[in-house]
Structure 1
Amino acid sequence: MENHVPHFAVIFTSKRRPQEGDGYPEMAAKMDALAREQPGFLGVDSVSSPVEGTISAITVSYWQDEESIRAWKRNLEHLLAQKRGKENWYLHYEVRVAKVERMYSGDEILE
């Protein structure tokens, strides 16, 4: 991701039950591809891990501004995926929105 400062991060943490054939991986891939097409989308990082019979995950998406985030939240396909997630997949989830004031990578030498 290029250095677009400031920008916003939407931090989505979740816990779900692993269930074969429940359609979750397909929906997650579809939402990832759809988000990448949205105006203001800058990038995404995601990781998941099995924890005591559940899958804990964190996905951080990066957006140019808060209006881009609101537009994504209102996207019809995203709304349907959210509804399905609440009804079928998630035991618990939280969403946090944060403003990123600065960023740097390990490739930079800081003095």
Structure 2
Amino acid sequence: MTYAVIFRATINKLDKDYDDMVQQLRKLAFEQYNCQEFIAYSEGNEEIAVSYWQSLEDIANWKANTSHLYAQKLGGEKWYQAYRVQVTEILRDYQSK
């Protein structure tokens, strides 16, 4: 099974601390929590990030990581006006070439 975590946010103000935190957390997600892929885009004041995982347990452990919890706190306090997280199971996966 493969799962996706979809993070959607309305940006308040992103700064250098945000950029540093994102780099640190991406590395951690791949190295310690079996994240398979992580894609993020922003346009205007909207951000969307989609990450792919092997198990719900990996996602739960990632969510409970102390560095990630701290980032969530900062996100709610200064980086984002609002955010939404959705976890979904990938039912079909196909591609061209």
Tell me if TM exceeds 0.5: yes
TM-score normalised to structure 2 length: 0.90
For the residues of structure 2 that align with 1:39 and 1:25, how far apart are their CA atoms?
A: 20
1:22, distance to aligned residue in structure 2 (A): 5.2
Matched, 1:48 2:42: yes
1:106, distance to aligned residue in structure 2 (A): 2.3
Aligned match of 1:26: 20
Aligned match of 1:78: 68
1:26, distance to aligned residue in structure 2 (A): 1.6
TM-score normalised to structure 1 length: 0.79
Bigger CA radius of gyration: 1
> Which of structure 1's runs of 4+ aligned residues deviate more than 3 A?
none
Q: Which segments of 5 or more consecutive residues in structure 2 lack a partner in the other structure?
A: none
SS at structure 1 position matched to 2:32: coil
Q: How many residues align?
A: 97
Q: Which structure has more helix as a fraction of its residues?
A: 2
Q: Which amino acid aligns with 1:62?
A: Y
Aligned match of 1:3: none
Q: Which segments of 5 or more consecutive residues in structure 1 lack a partner in the other structure?
A: 1-5
Q: Taking every aligned residue pair, what percent have the same amino acid on both sides?
A: 37
